[in-house]
């Protein structure tokens, strides 16, 4: 990321747990955990929107002089992956490896700065087993048949991340991987921690016996091992607010006896397509790799996505891409023209906008106004265009074209 002279105001972001935009106050090293993909299908624009959001956050921290310890998981063992493997007649490991590779390739193409640690659920299994065993010994985890569940009634702060009513929780729990109806559970919302081996399912031999981990504990084990308790930001799409991040915070509190799990919960709006949230289960997907293979410039795609505020739920259309292409052309022409002025103030405006809950729409409007200024066709100060080029590259991750 190019260095840009100067500095912006301190970053403030919306925090789901408090419902407020409040300052994020990292130490010299900012810590970030973002929930990664379940690799059973290639990267769609919803995934890209989520990871671009946290890329803007990482860039903003780097610009402010912080080091960033960014950890991301890949859910390389879970029900949807196994279901896909059966449906396709492929080995689940082959699918996971292929789709993870494709995801990483797509992220690189979109100029997403990589996480420092990229962790698989499978590699975390020994650690997960130790945490679950500790909770079992403490009586917070109980057995249903051969499986293990977490007792939410023993999590005093349960509900403080989403702030949802129990009624609302119950409504979505089953849609998002939960099993409220299973007989033998103490509470319908209790989440699975460990699933004992079933015929035809992969399993790992651990101190909990043969089986595989539940979803939430996977992210908790990785986050606690790599970042410890009370890291700066837990991130993901807003479909992860409940149950995933609520359960994660409850698990982590039970394991460590402390709070908060994350100091800030940042959730990204859902990208829709053809009237519904873009999702692998519905199949209404626009893939990053497809667009790139069709010749779309990744800078245009990146600009199209970041033109939406990250908290907005929005619907992708072809017009997003056409608009971004036109805008990046306009910015490139301006940067190459020698007829622009005011880069310093515009860079201040970009930084202030981004510091205000990653307000990319205001940042982009400020750049638009600067770019339109070139139409006066009177020479501006030398280097103005180059300053803007570097700032747009560093802060938004968008490269402008050079004059031919
Ligand atoms: N592996 C889990 C997280 S531990 C998972 O949710 N995987 S995923 O592949 O379904 O989603 C990966 C990330 O993309 C998550 O942060 C999710 O919230 C986000 N995401 C999924 N669909 C969309 C969408 N349509 N719009 C925006 N973000 C999305
Ligand atoms: Zn996760």
Q: Whose CA is nearest to atom 4 of ligand 1?
A: 35
User: Which atom number of ligand 1 is nearest to the Cα of residue 235?
Assistant: 16
213 C-alpha vs ligand 2 centroid, how far in Å?
13
Q: How many CA atoms lie within 13 A of 357 on its CB side?
A: 18
Task: Give the distance from CA 150 to its chain's centroid.
Answer: 25
107 lines ligand 1 (CB under 6 A): no
Q: Under 8 Å CB-to-CB from 266, ≥6 apart: which residues?
A: 13, 14, 15, 16, 53, 54, 57, 233, 234, 235
pLDDT of residue 348: 98
Write down all domains in the chain, each with its CATH number in brackets.
12-18+26-268 (3.40.50.620), 296-396 (1.20.120.640)
343 C-alpha vs ligand 1 centroid, how far in Å?
36
Q: What's the pTM value of the predicted model, to 2 decimals?
A: 0.97
36 lines ligand 1 (CB under 6 A): yes
pLDDT of residue 69: 98
pLDDT of residue 151: 98
Q: Whose CA is nearest to atom 6 of ligand 1?
A: 37
User: Which atom number of ligand 1 is nearest to the Cα of residue 277?
Assistant: 25
Q: Which ligand is nearest to the CA of 312?
A: 1
33 lines ligand 1 (CB under 6 A): no
Burial of 289 (0-12, 13-18, 19+ CB in 10 A): middle
72 C-alpha vs ligand 2 centroid, how far in Å?
8
pLDDT of residue 280: 76
361 C-alpha vs ligand 1 centroid, how far in Å?
23
Residue given tokens 């805008």 in the structure block:
327
Question: For every one of its 404 residues, what pLDDT tens digit does the chain have, with 9 covering 90 and above?
Answer: 889 999 999 999 999 999 999 999 999 999 999 999 999 988 999 999 999 999 999 999 999 999 999 999 999 999 999 999 999 999 999 999 999 999 999 999 999 999 999 999 999 999 999 999 999 999 999 999 999 999 999 999 999 999 999 999 999 999 999 999 999 999 999 999 999 999 999 999 999 999 999 999 999 999 999 999 999 999 999 999 999 999 999 999 999 999 999 999 999 999 999 999 898 778 899 999 999 999 999 999 999 999 999 999 999 999 999 999 999 999 999 999 999 999 999 999 999 999 999 999 999 999 999 999 998 999 999 999 999 999 999 999 999 999 76
How many C-beta atoms surround the C-beta of residue 117 within 10 A?
15
37 C-alpha vs ligand 1 centroid, how far in Å?
6
236 lines ligand 1 (CB under 6 A): yes
pLDDT of residue 292: 98
Among 39, 45, 46, residue to substitute to test ligand 1 (most atoms within 8 Å of Cβ): 46
How many C-beta atoms surround the C-beta of residue 107 within 10 A?
22
41 lines ligand 1 (CB under 6 A): no
∠389-356-264 over CA atoms, to 5°?
Answer: 115
45 lines ligand 1 (CB under 6 A): no
47 lines ligand 1 (CB under 6 A): yes
261 lines ligand 1 (CB under 6 A): no
User: Which atom number of ligand 1 is nearest to the Cα of residue 236?
Assistant: 16
Q: Give the SS3 label for residue 56.
A: helix
pLDDT of residue 281: 76
192 C-alpha vs ligand 1 centroid, how far in Å?
20
44 C-alpha vs ligand 1 centroid, how far in Å?
9
402 C-alpha vs ligand 1 centroid, how far in Å?
35
Q: Which ligand is nearest to the CA of 220?
A: 2
pLDDT of residue 404: 66
Task: Give the distance from CA 65 to its chain's centroid.
Answer: 22
CA distances to 111, 306, 332, 334, 371 from 329, rounded to whole Å, are 18, 16, 5, 9, 10
pLDDT of residue 282: 85
């Amino acid at each position: 990321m190019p260095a840009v002279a100067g500095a912006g105001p301190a970053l403030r972001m919306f925090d789901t747990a408090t419902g407020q935009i409040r300052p994020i106050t990292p130490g010299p090293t900012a810590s970030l955990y973002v929930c990664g993909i379940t690799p059973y299908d290639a990267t769609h624009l919803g995934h890209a929107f989520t990871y671009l959001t946290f890329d803007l956050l990482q860039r903003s921290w780097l610009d402010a002089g912080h080091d960033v310890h960014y950890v991301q998981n890949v859910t390389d063992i879970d029900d949807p992956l196994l279901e896909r493997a059966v449906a396709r007649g492929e080995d689940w490991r082959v699918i996971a490896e292929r789709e993870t590779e494709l995801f990483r390739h797509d992220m690189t193409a979109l100029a997403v700065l990589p996480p420092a640690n990229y962790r698989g659920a499978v590699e975390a299994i020994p650690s997960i087993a130790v945490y679950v065993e500790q909770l079992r010994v403490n009586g917070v985890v109980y057995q249903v048949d051969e499986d293990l569940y977490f007792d939410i009634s023993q999590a005093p702060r349960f509900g403080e991340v989403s702030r949802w009513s129990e009624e609302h929780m119950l409504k979505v729990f089953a849609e998002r991987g939960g099993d409220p109806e299973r007989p033998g559970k103490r509470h319908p919302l209790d989440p699975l921690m460990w699933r004992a081996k079933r015929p035809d399912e992969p399993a790992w031999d651990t101190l909990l016996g043969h089986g595989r981990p539940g979803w939430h504990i996977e992210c908790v084990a990785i986050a606690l091992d790599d970042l410890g308790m009370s890291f700066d930001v837990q991130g993901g799409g807003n479909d992860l607010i409940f149950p995933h991040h609520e359960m994660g915070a409850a698990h982590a509190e039970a394991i460590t006896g402390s709070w908060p799990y994350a100091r800030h919960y940042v959730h990204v709006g859902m990208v829709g397509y053809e009237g519904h949230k873009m999702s692998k289960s519905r199949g209404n997907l626009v893939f990053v790799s497809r667009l790139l293979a069709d010749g779309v410039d990744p800078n245009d795609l990146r600009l199209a996505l970041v033109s939406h505020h990250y908290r907005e739920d929005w619907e992708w259309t072809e017009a997003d891409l056409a608009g971004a292409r036109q805008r990046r052309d306009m910015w490139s022409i301006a940067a190459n023209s020698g007829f622009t002025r005011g880069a310093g103030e515009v860079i201040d405006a970009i930084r202030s906008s981004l510091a205000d809950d990653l307000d990319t729409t205001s940042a982009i409007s400020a750049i638009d106004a600067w770019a339109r200024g070139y139409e006066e066709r009177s020479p501006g100060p030398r280097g103005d265009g180059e300053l803007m080029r570097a700032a747009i590259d560093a802060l938004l991750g968008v490269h402008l074209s050079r004059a031919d």
